[in-house]
Chain A
Amino acid sequence: MGGNSGEATGTPDPVEKGYATLNTIRIGVKAMVQKDGELRKAEILSIKQRKDGPSFYVHYVDFNKRLDEWVPAARIDLSQEVEWPQPEKPDKKKSGPANKAPSKNAQKRARADSREVSGTPDALGGKNLNVGKAPRPSKAGGKENREAQTPGDASLFPSEAASAAGDDDVEMADATPAEPKEPKEDEVKTASGEIISREEEIERLRTGGSMTQNPTEIHRVRNLNRLQMGKYDVEPWYFSPYPESFSDVDMVYIDEFCLSYFDNQRAFERHRTKCTLVHPPGNEIYRDDNISFFEVDGRRQRTWCRNLCLLSKLFLDHKTLYYDVDPFLFYCMCTRDETGCHLVGYFSKEKDSAEGYNLACILTLPQYQRHGFGRLLIQFSYELSKREGKLGSPEKPLSDLGLLGYRQYWLETLVRLLLEPGKEAISENELAVATAMTEKDVHETLVVYNMLRYHKGNWVIVLTDYVIDEYNKRLEKAKVKGERKIDPSRLQWKPPVFTASSRTWNW
């Protein structure tokens, strides 16, 4: 995310460029880095020393943070000029993003900045080379934003990005990641044993003061190396505030049922002999042949929900764990087998959303992604809204995968309605009521897919050939594979009612 705001704002500040050596490269420098056979601009977020030289944690500009990785010095191209991080110029920085951002954001950023400035000096006595950089305010702005209304969760991540084209996706996935696999291999190696030295380095930096790592930068670096959960080894995507010492170990073990975390295999195995939980600790509200949904109250199951949030933060960039989980309900989707109900994904929902959001955070665990579970989660969230008699929309911001997943669901839902035989005209409001989507989402989906057009002085909804083709393809595939969808008649659920006092914090 670091460089992005700079790019997005059109870099209002002149960038200082120059040649660098391995010794002069520091955190914040943007350099060209070898990636998948091409050079990409990347920002250095962390440096650590190894026996065979320094290793750099880089963020590729204009790529999602989940692709950030540790690279050896050899992959940095020092034959080109690098961009130096900007010295601290708080005023300019603030004005930069604010220019483009809506006023609301700007305001919040200002708030965030003031807070951070006050916080930094205690945290580290060193120089704040990175403090004034553009990315931090915008990041903090995001956090503040959530804090204001829905502190628990912010980011959306419907797992299966382009669910409809499962097959095509898989092919794509096979085609492109062929190369990424290698660097990943690399990364595992480098990462193991390395992180310890990073901690040491931070310690060294604190005392020696040669370089500064601002604490706000820590969370930009993935802190866990690998995750063992259920039958799978999972690679974390983002930072999550697990205990700090967890970044020292190669593997963190997650109990698949209680989601407790262990940095020691023996301890984890001991725990397994004692743990009796075999499903999410809540009430089952939906069951069909494949999946079950459990409703878990953040207030009554504080530990479990915290564990869940820590876990999901590993895969949700914009989720914040700043505040506690009390005001949320967690709807957990599980597959069943003889060992229990295995968590596949979940979404959280505010007990009382002032903005009318029907979903705060959504995640399909990476090991289950690209199987259509994300769409089931989305559909389920709308089924709940229908039961409540409300129109709903997911909380913003969406993640990239979240956006694609939602657009896909919205389109298919609308097209199914529009294709109903005998339907000749319909209003956006009717569409919204039938789908529990907000009118805004209905309208925007129609526009995005170029279905709402102005034709000869009248508005028309155009079912484009492409849309119909896609829809039919999906129907066919559903026939072959058996479509997974939520059957509303199997939902045993009444909208829970909470008193004001039980919603807000109290112990």
Chain B
Amino acid sequence: MTRYGGLGRTRPKKLTSKASIPIVREDEIDALEDEIQASLQQIETGVEKAEESEFHLQVAINATAQGKVNNTHIPTPETILSNLRYDELYPPFFSQPATYIRFSSTVEDCCGCPYNMTEEDDAFLKVFNQKRDPADRCSEDAFEATMNFFEETAQTKQPYAAVDNPPVLPFSEMEEAMDAAVEESVKHFAKDLYDHWKSRRSEGGGNHMLQPSLKFETGQDTDDSDPYVCFRRREVRQIRKTRGRDAQSAEKLRRLRKELEDSRQLVALVRQREVARREMLINERLIFLQRAEVKEMKRKLGVKDDDEDLINQKVSMDTGSDNEAQLTPTQPKKKTMDLPPGQRPNAPQLRLPLKPGLQGAEDLQLLEDVQAEKENAIANDIKANIGKHMRWNEGFVDLTRAPLSPSPERPFDTASFRPAFTAQLPTPPSSESSGDVETSLDVTSPLLSKDRLASRAMELHEEPHRLPSFRRRVGRGGRLLIDRRNFAARCKIEMDPIKSDRFKFDQEDSDDEPVYETDKFNIQIMQHRAATWFKAREQNNAVAQAHAQAQQAAQAQARRLQGEQAGNSGSNPGLSSAAASSVPTSSEA
């Protein structure tokens, strides 16, 4: 990087690329001409050494050195406007898109048939077509396609024709190569055009391609020195062979093979399906024709029936859905769905969707019907359970303080349970209904309630049958009781994890021996109960006066009940309510 400038014999300072160099104008410094040549000599032009001495280049370079850059010119051969019919050959159909062009088709994609006719072909084709029926003439495109087929087949079958010059491929071999992918027109004209192709192929002796092609490497020694051989493949870089790489490659191959196999199978299956479908269509058509015949016959013979034989009866399907309806009456959806694979009838074409006109009346189901059916099922179930309870208790005198079954005079009346939600809400309910909800949920802040509502709505969505509901009834002594069902989910939300842990193992005991809570709540409840009884006794004395009080107390209790329940076992809501007020838990259907 160092150079020697002028200025006597002193060695100039070394110039580094990071050094800041002052910029000056020519008139600001003294001219020192002798250094020019010295420094210029050291700069390589980057031009091939042998060509640096070329006359025009030297003129240009020297002009630069003398400070006259641009008045040089290197002569080049001329180009002139062509007399080609440019506008015909290049039609003006290009319209530039607004966005930058993105394009990935190759030349081969864009050029159509690679064979192009020459004048010779023109002459031949003209004569050829003159002899033929006008309807059966060979178009230029068909001609080119056929010639191209010959060329490609020859190239495939005789890849080294250019080197070892074998005899021109006979027509019999051409015929062999005609598979499904070859166009009909090619097959049609092939025989007639073959001789022309053959004569052109062997023009001037030998067997050469009709369209000149580049010379690629042939693996012979002469390749290297032949200037016409171009675009050689590069030597593959040797990759170090390791066990890991071997395994990797093997794995790759295996995967590739598997993927290919999969796709092959897929295609085979698709084919199978399509074949079956065609078969089905044929059968259907046959059926239709035969029915038409039957119809004719019926008309002719005057047979009058319900014409059931003229429409599809869906034999297999009807029986299937009947069975289903009996087995699972609550799942009417199944009817419209496809049958599971196992139940598929043997002849798949018979259960393909029928014409909507035929099917509609039979398959149409009303939502109300479905819902009514569902509700009936639930009601029946509940009635059956109640009956069971009553049968259990038959002949027994109920001496328990907290009878498990409802008293016979007050049978479980499902209608008196009001559902907390009348509809399943995928989104939080509107403000009107949310007001109701809040009272039942005992929430503190509206924000919180919203969250709860959301989560609740989701739970409900998951378990549509477990609608929470409650009812009010008046118990002994005029107590007001509130029964609830299906509040488990809410308790889950509000439960303190520590407290729930405490009751983790309480469930089983509760069956055998109703152990009431011995914690502080119990004492309070006892006190409360005592107070209530006391009041109730007084009530007997002064009924009118006590009535209002009792109501207040009951309400207070109800509130407490809810607060208590929050603290109590959520997994067993029945327990807490039993402990609090001996409210019977309704058996869950």
| Residues on A with beta carbons closer than 8 Å to the beta carbon of B68 | 466
Q: Tell me if B92 and A339 are in contact (CB < 8 A).
A: yes
| Residues on A with beta carbons closer than 8 Å to the beta carbon of B93 | 278, 338-339
Q: Tell me if B230 and A283 are in contact (CB < 8 A).
A: no
Given A119-B224, A455-B29, also A400-B70 (CB < 8 A): no
Q: B342: CB under 8 A from chain A?
A: no
| Residues on B with beta carbons closer than 8 Å to the beta carbon of A304 | 106-107
Q: Tell me if A504 and B237 are in contact (CB < 8 A).
A: yes
Q: How far is the CA of A337 from the CA of B6 in the complex (A)?
A: 56
- The closest CB in chain B to the CB of A69 belongs to B77
Binds A, one of B53-61, B175-183, B404-412: B53-61
Q: A484: CB under 8 A from chain B?
A: no
* Cβ of B140 to closest chain A Cβ, rounded Å: 7
Contact with A along B86-98 (1 / 0, CB 8 A): 1001111111100
Q: How far is the CA of A232 from the CA of B80 in the complex (A)?
A: 6
User: Which residues A247-300 have CB closer than 8 A to chain B?
Assistant: 256, 258-260, 262-264, 266-272, 274-279, 281-285, 287, 292, 294, 300
Best-buried of B46, B144, B228 by chain A (most CB within 10 Å): B46
Which of B21, B55, B73, B84 is A426 in contact with, Cβ under 8 Å?
Answer: B21
Q: How far is the CA of A282 from the CA of B6 in the complex (A)?
A: 54
Q: Tell me if A4 and B54 are in contact (CB < 8 A).
A: yes
Q: B3: CB under 8 A from chain A?
A: yes
| Residues on B with beta carbons closer than 8 Å to the beta carbon of A263 | 212
Which of B25, B81, B92, B231 is A321 in contact with, Cβ under 8 Å?
Answer: B231
Q: A82: CB under 8 A from chain B?
A: no
| Residues on A with beta carbons closer than 8 Å to the beta carbon of B229 | 241
Q: Tell me if A429 and B17 are in contact (CB < 8 A).
A: yes
| Residues on A with beta carbons closer than 8 Å to the beta carbon of B71 | 162, 165, 168, 172
- A-B pairs with beta carbons under 8 A, tally: 405
| Residues on B with beta carbons closer than 8 Å to the beta carbon of A325 | 231
Given A243-B215, A270-B140, also A322-B230 (CB < 8 A): yes
Q: How far is the CA of A269 from the CA of B118 in the complex (A)?
A: 9
Q: Tell me if A505 and B236 are in contact (CB < 8 A).
A: yes
* Residue count of chain B within 8 Å CB distance of chain A: 113
Q: Tell me if A450 and B234 are in contact (CB < 8 A).
A: no
Q: Tell me if B107 and A429 are in contact (CB < 8 A).
A: no
Q: A83: CB under 8 A from chain B?
A: no
Q: B64: CB under 8 A from chain A?
A: yes
Q: Tell me if B47 and A399 are in contact (CB < 8 A).
A: yes
Q: B76: CB under 8 A from chain A?
A: yes
Q: Which 5 A-B pairs have the closest CB atoms?
A: A454-B5, A243-B212, A274-B112, A119-B225, A165-B70
| Residues on B with beta carbons closer than 8 Å to the beta carbon of A26 | none
Binds A, one of B37-45, B480-488, B500-508: B37-45
Q: A90: CB under 8 A from chain B?
A: no
Q: Tell me if B107 and A283 are in contact (CB < 8 A).
A: no
Given A168-B71, A301-B106, A400-B74, also A324-B232 (CB < 8 A): yes
Can you list 14 pairs linking A and B with CB atoms under 8 Å apart?
A230-B82, A231-B82, A233-B81, A281-B106, A341-B94, A366-B76, A398-B46, A444-B44, A454-B6, A455-B7, A456-B7, A462-B26, A464-B67, A466-B68
Q: How far is the CA of A285 from the CA of B117 in the complex (A)?
A: 37
Q: B205: CB under 8 A from chain A?
A: no
| Residues on A with beta carbons closer than 8 Å to the beta carbon of B89 | 269, 272
| Residues on B with beta carbons closer than 8 Å to the beta carbon of A465 | 25-27
Q: B391: CB under 8 A from chain A?
A: no
Q: How far is the CA of A278 from the CA of B101 in the complex (A)?
A: 11
Which of B90, B102, B108 is A340 in contact with, Cβ under 8 Å?
Answer: B90
* Cβ of A220 to closest chain B Cβ, rounded Å: 9
Q: B347: CB under 8 A from chain A?
A: no
Q: Tell me if B40 and A453 are in contact (CB < 8 A).
A: no
| Residues on A with beta carbons closer than 8 Å to the beta carbon of B212 | 243-246, 263
Q: Tell me if A231 and B84 are in contact (CB < 8 A).
A: yes
Q: Tell me if A403 and B17 are in contact (CB < 8 A).
A: no
Given A4-B50, A281-B107, A284-B101, also A367-B234 (CB < 8 A): no
Which of A424, A428, A462 is B17 in contact with, Cβ under 8 Å?
Answer: A428
User: Which residues B100-145 have CB closer than 8 A to chain A?
Assistant: 100-108, 110-113, 116-119, 122, 140, 144
User: Which residues A86-113 have CB closer than 8 A to chain B?
Assistant: 100-101, 105
Q: A216: CB under 8 A from chain B?
A: yes
